Each structure stands twice: as C-alpha cells, then as structure tokens.
Structure 1
Amino acid sequence: MPFNIRIMGLALALLITAAVFWTSKNQSLQAPDVSFLTITGQTLQLSSFKGKPVIVTFWATDCAVCVKEIPDLIDLYQTYRDKGLEIIAIAMYYDPPNHVVEMSKAKQIPYHVALDLRAEQARAFGEVRLTPTTFVIDADGMIVQHITGAFKPAELSRLIETLLVTTRPL
C-alpha cells in the first residue's frame, strides 16, 4: 500500500475519532434524580428543582481547593438565588459529618449542604471520586457542564447568567 494512502487513511481515522469525541463532549446528559439528606435533616429531591438552574458540587472538608471555592459559591448563590439558582454541596462519603457541619457553620454556608454517607450520589453522578467535582444543571434537568477540579468563578457566573436568561417560567 502506498505511503500517501496510509497517511490519508490515518488522517481520516483521526478526524473521525475527533468528531466523535467532540460531539459526545457537547451532548448534555440528564441529571440523575437523586435525593439528598442535608446537614439540617432536610431531604431534597433533585427533580424538585426542575425549572431552576442547579449547581451540584462534590467536596470534602480536607480538600484545600474545595474550601477555597466556598466563598465563590457563596457569592454565586447570593447573586443569583433570587433569580432561581440553587446550590447543593455534597460532602463525600469519607468526610466525617461533624467536620462537614463545623465547616458549614464556620464558613456560614447559605446554600444546601448534604451528606453522601454511602456514596450513593457520587455513584449516581458517574462514580465521582475527585474533589471538587461540580455539575451545572439547567432548568430542564440536563447536565450542561461537568468540572473536575477548580472552577473559574467568572466563567461559572456567565454560564449561570445564560441559564437564567434561557430558563422558562414554570
């Protein structure tokens, strides 16, 4: 087989692979309809927030990046909660509940903080193991952004603004 044909075949295979990867990364996935037990004893169902954008973030009290993101999440929540934004911070299964409660009080976290004592929510969201891992869910319950590691506050704010503009009233 001539060398040029092999190169063209390889280039075509790479283009097809890139196209499949690109389209799969841009497809939104339905968020799992899970329930959360908050540190205040409240049970929340994710589907009850349909019609609103939701940030679900997996975190741990011993994760420096997670703790560093708390003020940014508080700012986002305070800026957009009256427009409909909800935030649920899910503490990882290995995080002692008393540590989660203490940090939530110390940082004066105003949004929902939940415990994932059996890693059920982490499994439902695709085997979340790294913290922080953040999911942005639109008003239709679709995951529109999945961020592993630190998020960029300005980018997340722009995304929330876009979702709030496109949110249909219930």
Structure 2
Amino acid sequence: MLIALVAIVLLLRGQGHPDRVPAVRIALLDGGLLDFGRADGKVRLVEFWSTSCAPCVRGMPALAEAHRRHAARGFEVVAVAMPYDAPVHVQAFAARENLPFRVGFDPAGEVERSFGGVRATPTSYLIDRDGRIVKRIIGNPDHRQLDQLLDTLLPPAS
C-alpha cells in the first residue's frame, strides 16, 4: 500500500521540478514567441491547462481578473496549452473568453517537460522577477493567497 502511495505521489510530482524558470521558448497565440529564459523583470504565473479540463476552464475568469488587477505592477499570466489540446480549440476558447493574457501552444510537450513534467491540469508556476520559481500550484490557485504572495513580489501600487 505504501509503495503504491509513493508511486502516485511521484507520478503527480513529475520528474523533478526546477528552482528556476527553464530556458525554453513557446509559440504564442498572437504569433509571437516568449523566451522564458530571458529575465525581463516581470513576475509571471505560468499556467498549464487544457480546454478539455473543467477546473481549468472554470478557473480562467479568476486568472483573467488577477492578470488585470496586477498587470500595472509588472505581473502577467501566461497560459500554456497542453500538447494534447488542439490549437483550434485553444484559439476558439481564448477568443470566446476574451483572455487578456498571453496564451501559448506546447504541441511537442517541450515546455511542460522543461518545467519538470506536468501530470495534472491546471498546474501553475509563480516566477519572480529574477526567474526563480517561487511556488508550484496544482489545481486552481487560491486567489486570496496568490494576491498576498504577489504583494510581496511586486512593487506597491501607485
């Protein structure tokens, strides 16, 4: 029983998660590229999600609101669609929901592997201005706790 429990924990945990954001690039829905390895002074929440994941879909409005609330202070959400998600579904969802943040595709799974392997969606990584991974969140974030953490990572609102 203990061996089975340990195996499940290791499966959900992935293959070892980095302490720093990996130097990997992702193609964005708007046609651009985002190089996670280039520190640009932003605090980011990188969310791995799928259009077929009900908790992911339910959590998007709160992510959009967090992005809007903190963007002026240097925060952004980047939603990374899982390799099994059809790009046409991702595009349709982003347009329908009018997502205010950048959405990327990971068709070969390179991005999710470089973050240590994502075994459950949604999974998010909060990254500070220097590229350090501050927190890994499996499931939808508790936005009260996220706001408190962002207040420690971002400059005060003016």
Letter in 2 for 1:101: Q
| Contact 2:27 2:34 (8 Å CA) reproduced | yes
2:93 is aligned to: 103
* Distance (whole Å) between structure 2 residues aligned to residue 60 and residue 47 of structure 1: 23
Give the partner amino acid of 1:54.
Answer: R
Measure, in 1, the Cα distance between the counterparts of 2:76 and 2:140: 19
| Matched positions, count | 139
* TM-score, normalised via structure 1 length: 0.78
1:160 CA drift (Å): 1.2
In structure 1, list runs of 5 or more residues that go unmatched. 1-27
| Displacement after TM superposition at 1:153 (Å) | 1.0
Q: 1:64 aligns with which of 54, 57, 62?
A: 54
> Tell me, what secondary structure is at the counterpart of 1:29?
coil
Give the structure with higher Rg (CA).
1
Please give the alpha-carbon distance, in whole angstroms, between the structure 1 residues aligned to 2:125 and 2:68. Answer: 19
CA drift of 1:49 comes to 4.5
Q: Name the SS for the 1:55 alignment partner.
A: strand
User: Matched residue of 1:30: which SS?
Assistant: coil
**SS of equivalent to 1:32:** coil
Shift of residue 158, structure 1, vs aligned partner: 1.2
- Pick from 34, 44, 47: which aligns with 2:37? 47
Task: Give the residue type in structure 1 aligned to 2:67.
Answer: Y
RMSD: 1.4
**1:31 and 2:21 matched:** yes
Query: What's 2:15 paired with?
Result: none
- Would the aligned equivalents of 1:122 and 1:129 in 2 still touch at CA under 8 Å? no
TM-score by length of structure 2 reads: 0.84
Which residue identity does 1:122 align to in structure 2?
E
Segments ≥4 residues shifted beyond 4 Å: none
Local SS of the residue matching 2:134: strand
Aligned to 1:165: 155
Q: Deviations over 1:68-93 (max 9, x none)?
A: 11111111110111110021100000
Structure 1 or 2: more helix by fraction:
1
Partner residue in 2 for 1:156: 146
1:116 aligned onto 2:116: no
Deviates more, 1:43-52 or 1:155-164: 43-52
Aligned mate of 2:64, from 70, 74, 88? 74
Question: Are the counterparts in 1 of residues 39 and 130 from structure 2 also a CA contact under 8 Å?
Answer: no
Higher RCO (C-alpha under 8 Å, 6+ residues apart): 2
* Percent of paired sites with the same residue: 37
Structure 2, unaligned runs of 5 or more: 1-17
